[in-house]
């Protein structure tokens, strides 16, 4: 019988597989590009640990579930981690708690003033929650890597030409060249 339920179900499965393949291809290409750029610029990659995201999906409204599933956070993080390990790019994973609601300047809880826009009552910072999250993730990753907020592309001691004793040619004033 034409148009039976089996044919419709098979057609739905076909489009589901096709959509999954498109997402997987996009994730692989995106992760490769991100890691290659990080390697070229000598940057580390910082990301949130979103392993609990899937477990918390059950608590969210339906429209949020669909958006989060489409973005495939788990796949992106898996492929970025794999590409980074393959190319020797450091990955720093930070906890997601408060990344989009804490002020990156003074660490106080921010107040939502409009859709996705937050303002700090203490220092006056006002920004989109994604921008706030990026700043907080960067801040946490830098402190986790170095214990202080210094740029990841600061010159290494191996970048300085040594003299015959292995000491830097022009040591900075106020420092000991051992």
Please indicate, yes or no, whether residues 77 and 67 belong to a single structural domain of this protein.
yes
Please indicate, yes or no, whether residues 29 and 44 belong to a single structural domain of this protein.
yes
Q: Give the global pTM.
A: 0.67
Please indicate, yes or no, whether residues 36 and 111 belong to a single structural domain of this protein.
no
Number of compact structural domains in the chain: 2
Nearest to 109 by CA among 94, 91, 122: 122
- Residue 92: inside a domain, yes or no? yes
Q: Which residue has the higher pLDDT, 72 or 111?
A: 111
Please indicate, yes or no, whether residues 81 and 139 belong to a single structural domain of this protein.
no
Domain boundary among 96, 125, 159: 96
**Contact (Cβ atoms closer than 8 angstroms) between residue 87 and residue 140:** no
- Residue 160: inside a domain, yes or no? no
Per the DSSP assignment, residues forming a β-bridge with 114 are 117
Q: So what's the pLDDT on residue 69?
A: 63
Lowest mean pLDDT among 2-16, 32-46, 53-67, 150-164: 150-164
Per-residue pLDDT band at 25 (split at 50, 70, 90): very high
- Residue 41: inside a domain, yes or no? yes
Give dist(CA 102, CA 107) in Å, integer: 5
Residue ranges making up the domain that contains 63: 10-96
Please indicate, yes or no, whether residues 14 and 87 belong to a single structural domain of this protein.
yes
Per the DSSP assignment, residues forming a β-bridge with 168 are 162
- Residue 159: inside a domain, yes or no? no
Please indicate, yes or no, whether residues 48 and 37 belong to a single structural domain of this protein.
yes
């Amino acid at each position: 019988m034409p148009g039976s339920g089996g044919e419709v179900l098979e057609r739905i499965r076909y489009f589901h597989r096709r959509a999954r393949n498109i997402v997987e291809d996009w994730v692989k290409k995106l992760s490769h590009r991100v890691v290659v750029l990080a390697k070229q610029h000598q940057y580390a990659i910082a990301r949130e640990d979103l392993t609990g995201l899937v477990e918390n999906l059950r608590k969210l409204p339906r429209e949020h579930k669909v958006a989060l599933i489409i973005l495939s956070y788990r796949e992106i993080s898996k492929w970025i981690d794999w590409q980074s390990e393959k190319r020797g790019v450091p990955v720093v994973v930070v906890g997601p708690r408060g990344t989009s609601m804490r002020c990156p300047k003074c660490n106080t809880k921010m107040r939502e003033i409009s859709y996705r826009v937050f303002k700090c009552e203490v220092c006056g910072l006002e920004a989109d929650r994604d921008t706030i999250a990026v700043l907080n993730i960067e801040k946490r990753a830098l402190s986790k890597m170095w214990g202080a907020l210094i740029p990841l592309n600061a010159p290494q001691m191996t970048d300085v030409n040594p003299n015959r004793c292995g000491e830097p040619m022009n040591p900075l004033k106020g420092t000991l060249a051992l």
